[in-house]
């Protein structure tokens, strides 16, 4: 209905457009802003369990501060990016940055302790809103226990939002698992275009807010010359970008494979320089610094936390090799041809083969339903295979062009209706109107009514 209204040929004024947006996000009884009005501040408890969630959380806090009619106070768990927005994390975010099945077992005791600490802290914080970001294993257990604690004490629970829908679309029987989600989640903030409709059909209120990576792409233009100057890389050197991951368990598994891959390329690539992007995770930083000391190739380490430097490096690179995750989307939308790789414990890989219902692992391929980005998964993820795929990307202009051309279609798919409509509406030029994914998510949190 809103989309039809905004596309009406009888153009509306910007103020009319903004009032319509507010109506779109507030249709029933009690919103977070109403709860906050009683206390003169809005208390938001956020939990992020990995680097990509930390970035999402930091942008969300910034958007909430900008849009909320009341001062924002935040508590919870996050990383260095959320700390810049005023969050004092209960404990290092890395303590809950664990994924997989077999890989999870050694960490169960610590995760139980951290879960209890988080529940206790959330209750003490008396939040108006709880926002969990991705990391559904930890997040959903937290939300369930919070609901139970509030019910036990006869108190009204705060509004529970989960940012980044669980990947129900990837697994056999995944949609059925959404049926019970509404018991402990009030609203899901979806980053992929097809997720919200399925969530709603299963009784879970949801909003498609757009993919967070769009915010970097809209704001940043990579500067290749600046990157080469800052890191002392000659203009004739061929830069290969490597993103081994943000969790220690995946970095320790993937980096040795990437090291052997780079060794295979040394004799066929002109003056190669390997640029490794180091996630802002102290365990990961220590491991990578120690490991690359034994490399024979020229290596440059780029510290995480600076989007400008990251996209400067992308602009200077000829090709990229990354572990499956958010990095694949970042590289694709930056128009840097890449290869996606993934390995896990053999039991985890066996479960994935048995339970997965889609043939791809990288989001661009999933969205396009096409292997635009080469993937080397499980037993196919070998140095020889990766080196061959990288060589083809560097020398086959047709393959490179296919990835670059597909990026625009992916960008359009990831833009939410509000953002697309605002771009097309010539009257929507108010300087304060922000249709970024973070701002749409913040409006949803502020004005959604339970």
Which pLDDT tens digits describe the chain residue by residue (450 residues)? 333 333 333 333 334 333 434 444 433 457 889 888 889 999 999 999 988 999 999 999 999 999 999 999 999 999 999 999 999 999 999 888 776 555 566 667 888 999 999 999 999 999 999 999 999 989 999 999 999 999 887 778 899 999 999 999 988 888 998 998 999 999 999 999 999 999 999 999 999 999 999 988 877 789 999 999 999 999 999 999 999 999 898 999 999 999 999 999 998 998 999 999 999 888 899 999 999 998 888 999 999 878 899 999 999 999 999 999 899 999 999 999 999 999 988 888 888 888 899 999 999 999 999 999 999 999 999 999 999 999 999 999 999 999 999 999 999 999 887 654 444 443 444 445 578 999 999 999 999 876
Cα distances (angstroms) measured from residue 85 to each of 56, 82, 162: 12, 5, 20
| Predicted TM-score (pTM) above 0.95 | no
| 187 is a domain residue | yes
Do both 262 and 137 map to the same domain? no
- 211-247 b/e with 16+ CB inside 10 Å = b? bbbbbbbeebebbbeebbeebebeeebbbbbbbbbbb
> Are residues 142 and 39 both part of a single domain?
yes
Q: Measured at the alpha carbon of residue 78, what is the angle toward residues 415 and 314, in degrees to the nearest 5?
A: 50
Only one residue has tokens 């905004």, namely 6
Enumerate helices (H) and strands (E) in the chain, giving the number of each: 20, 12
CA distance 338 to 353: 23
User: Do 196 and 293 belong together in one domain?
Assistant: no
Residue 6 lies in a domain: no
Does residue 152 sit in the same domain as residue 285? no
Same domain, 425 and 406: no
Q: What is the distance between the alpha carbons of residues 243 and 278, in angstroms, rounded to a whole number?
A: 7
Q: Which domain holds residue 295?
A: 218-412
Give the angle subtended at the CA of 86 by the CAs of 80 and 87, to the nearest 5°: 65
Q: At what angle do helices 383-395 and 397-414 cross, to 10 degrees?
A: 90
How many structural domains does the chain have? 2
Q: List CB contacts of 8: < 8 A, sequence separation 6 or more.
A: none
* Count of Cβ atoms closer than 10 Å to residue 7 Cβ: 12
pLDDT of residue 101: 58
pLDDT recorded at residue 295: 87
**CATH assignment of the domain containing 321:** 3.40.50.2000
Partner residues linked to 42 by β-bridges: 72
Same-domain pairing of 177 and 237? no
Do 376 and 442 sit in the same domain of this protein?
no
DSSP E strand boundaries for 178-323: 187-190, 206-208, 238-243, 272-278, 299-303, 319-323
Is the CB of residue 417 less than 8 Å from the CB of residue 3? yes
Query: Within a domain: residue 342?
Result: yes
Strands 338-342 and 319-323, bridge-based pairing = parallel
Domain-embedded: residue 96: yes
Q: Quick one: tokens of 300?
A: 């440059």
Q: How far apart are CA 417 and CA 423, in angstroms?
A: 10
For residues 220 and 307, is the Cβ–Cβ distance under 8 A?
Answer: yes
Indicate the SS3 state at residue 237.
Answer: coil
Specify whether 401 is located in the same domain as 422.
Answer: no
Assess whether 267 and 365 both reside in one domain.
Answer: yes
Domain match, 111 and 134 both: yes
Domain-located, residue 12: no
pLDDT number for residue 100: 58
> What pLDDT does residue 424 have?
44
Q: How far is the first Cα of the chain from the last one, in angstroms, to the nearest whole number?
A: 21
* 16 part of a folded domain: no
Residue-wise pLDDT tens digits, 25-44? 433 457 889 888 889 999 99
Report CA torsion sign: 241, 246, 248, 250. negative
Could you give the CA distance from residue 80 to residue 94 in angstroms, rounded to a whole number? 11
Quickly count: other Cβ atoms within 10 Å of residue 359's Cβ: 11
- 17 in a structural domain: no
Shared domain check, 249 and 199:
no
> Taking a C-beta distance cutoff of 8 angstroms, is the pair 339, 321 a contact?
yes
Kindly state the DSSP code that residue 268 receives in the 8-state scheme.
T
Distances (CA, A) of 222 to 179, 312, 316: 43, 4, 8
* Cα radius of gyration (the chain): 22
Instruction: Read off the tokens for 372.
Output: 């635009």
How would you class 29 by CB atoms within 10 Å of its CB: exposed for 0-12, middle for 13-18, buried for 19 or more? exposed
State phi, psi for 303 to the nearest 5 degrees. Answer: -70, 145
C-alpha distance from residue 381 to each of 228, 246, 254, 385 (Å)? 30, 19, 9, 7
Minimal CA–CA distance to 365: which of 319, 419, 414, 329?
329
Kindly give the interhelix angle for 417-424 and 437-447, rounded to the nearest 10 degrees: 120
Nearest Cα neighbor of 419 from 52, 3, 9, 26 is 3
DSSP secondary structure letter of residue 240: E
Tell me, yes or no, whether 278 and 375 share the same domain: yes
In a domain, 284, yes or no: yes
């Amino acid at each position: 209905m809103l989309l039809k209204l905004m596309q009406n040929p009888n153009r509306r004024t910007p103020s009319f457009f903004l009032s319509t947006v507010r109506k779109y996000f507030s249709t029933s009884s009690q919103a977070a802003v109403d709860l906050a009005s009683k206390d003169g501040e809005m208390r938001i408890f956020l939990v992020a369990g990995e680097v990509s969630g930390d970035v999402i959380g930091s942008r969300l806090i910034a958007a909430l501060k900008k849009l909320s009619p009341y001062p924002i106070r935040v508590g919870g768990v996050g990383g260095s990016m959320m700390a810049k927005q005023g969050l004092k994390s209960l404990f290092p975010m890395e303590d809950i940055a664990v994924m997989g099945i077999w890989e999870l077992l050694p960490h169960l005791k610590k995760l139980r302790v951290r879960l209890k600490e988080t529940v206790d802290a959330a209750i003490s914080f008396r939040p108006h809103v709880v926002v969990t970001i991705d990391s559904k294993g930890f997040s959903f257990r937290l939300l369930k226990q919070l609901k139970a604690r509030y019910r036990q004490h006869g108190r009204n629970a705060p509004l529970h939002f989960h940012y980044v829908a669980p990947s129900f679309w990837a697994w056999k029987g995944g949609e059925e698992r959404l049926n019970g989600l509404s018991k402990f989640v009030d609203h899901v903030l979806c980053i992929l275009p097809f997720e919200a409709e399925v969530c709603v059909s299963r009784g879970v209120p949801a909003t498609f807010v757009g993919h967070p990576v769009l915010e970097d792409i809209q704001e940043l233009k990579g500067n290749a010359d600046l990157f080469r100057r800052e890191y002392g890389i000659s203009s004739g050197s061929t830069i290969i970008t490597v993103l081994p991951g943000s969790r220690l368990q995946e970095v320790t598994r993937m980096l040795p494979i990437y090291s052997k891959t780079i060794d295979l390329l040394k004799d066929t690539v002109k003056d190669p320089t390997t640029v490794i992007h180091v996630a802002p995770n102290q365990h990961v930083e220590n491991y990578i610094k120690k490991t690359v000391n034994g490399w024979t190739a020229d290596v440059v380490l780029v510290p995480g936390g600076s989007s400008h430097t990251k996209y400067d490096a992308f602009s200077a690179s000829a090709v990229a090799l990354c572990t499956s995750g958010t990095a694949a989307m970042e590289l694709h939308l930056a128009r840097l041809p890449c290869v996606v790789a993934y390995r896990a414990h053999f039991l985890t890989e066996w479960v994935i083969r048995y339970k997965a219902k889609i043939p791809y692992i990288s989001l661009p391929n999933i969205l396009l339903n096409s292997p635009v980005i080469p993937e080397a998964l499980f037993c196919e993820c070998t140095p020889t295979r990766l080196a061959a795929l990288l060589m083809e990307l560097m020398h086959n202009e047709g393959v490179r062009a296919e990835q670059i051309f597909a990026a625009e279609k992916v960008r359009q798919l990831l833009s939410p209706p509000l953002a697309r409509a605002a771009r097309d509406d010539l009257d929507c030029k108010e300087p304060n109107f922000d249709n970024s994914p973070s701002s749409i998510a913040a409006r949803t949190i502020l004005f959604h009514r339970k």
